[in-house]
Structure 1
Amino acid sequence: MKLIRLKHISDKYFHKAWKLYENAFPMEERRLLNDQSYILQNDSYHFDVLIDKDQFIGFILWWDFDTYRYIDHFATVLEQRNKGIGKLILNKFINRDAKSIILEVELPTSKINDRRIQFYERVGFKLNKHHYEIPPIKEDQSPLQLLLMSYPNFISEKDADLFVQKYHPIIFNK
Structure 2
Amino acid sequence: MTEELQFIPFTSPADRGWAEAMEIYRRSFPYKEQRSEEDHVRALRDPHFRADGIWCGDEFVGILYHWQGDGWHYVEHLAVSPALRGRNMGSKALAAFCEGRRVILEIDPPADEISIRRLHFYRRLGFVENPHEYIHPSFRRPFEQHRLVLMSYPSPLTDDEARRFADFVRETVLRYTEHEAPQLPRLP
Same fold (TM over 0.5): yes
Partner in structure 1 of residue 116 of structure 2: 114
CA distance in 1, matches of 2:96, 2:89: 11
More displaced, 67-76 or 4-13?
4-13
CA distance in 2, matches of 1:68, 1:168: 16
With normalisation by structure 2, the TM-score equals 0.86
- Provide the identity percentage: 27
CA distance in 2, matches of 1:66, 1:132: 19
2:59 to 55, 58, 62: 55
CA distance in 2, matches of 1:169, 1:109: 30
CA distance in 1, matches of 2:168, 2:62: 29
Once the two structures are TM-superposed, the CA of residue 156 in structure 1 deviates from its matched residue by 3.0
* Cα pair distance change 1:57/1:155, threshold 3 Å: same
RMSD: 1.4
Aligned residue type for 1:29: E
- Residue 40 in structure 1 maps to residue 44 in structure 2: yes
CA contact (8 A) 1:28 1:144 kept: no
Counterparts of 1:53-132 in structure 2, within 5 Å, are 53-95=57-99, 97=100, 99-132=101-134
Unmatched tracts of structure 1, length 5 or more? none
Once the two structures are TM-superposed, the CA of residue 88 in structure 1 deviates from its matched residue by 1.1
Partner in structure 2 of residue 30 of structure 1: 34
Aligned residue type for 2:115: N
Shift >3 Å, 4+ stretches: none
CA contact (8 A) 1:6 1:47 kept: yes
Cα deviation 1:129-159 (Å, max 9, x = unaligned)? 3211222223422212111100000113442
More displaced, 85-94 or 128-137?
128-137
CA distance in 1, matches of 2:91, 2:137: 29
Once the two structures are TM-superposed, the CA of residue 2 in structure 1 deviates from its matched residue by 1.6
2:172 partner SS? helix
CA distance in 1, matches of 2:136, 2:154: 23
CA contact (8 A) 2:129 2:152 kept: yes
CA distance in 2, matches of 1:62, 1:49: 11
Unmatched tracts of structure 2, length 5 or more? 176-181, 183-188
Partner in structure 2 of residue 133 of structure 1: 135
CA distance in 2, matches of 1:140, 1:86: 30
CA distance in 1, matches of 2:103, 2:79: 17
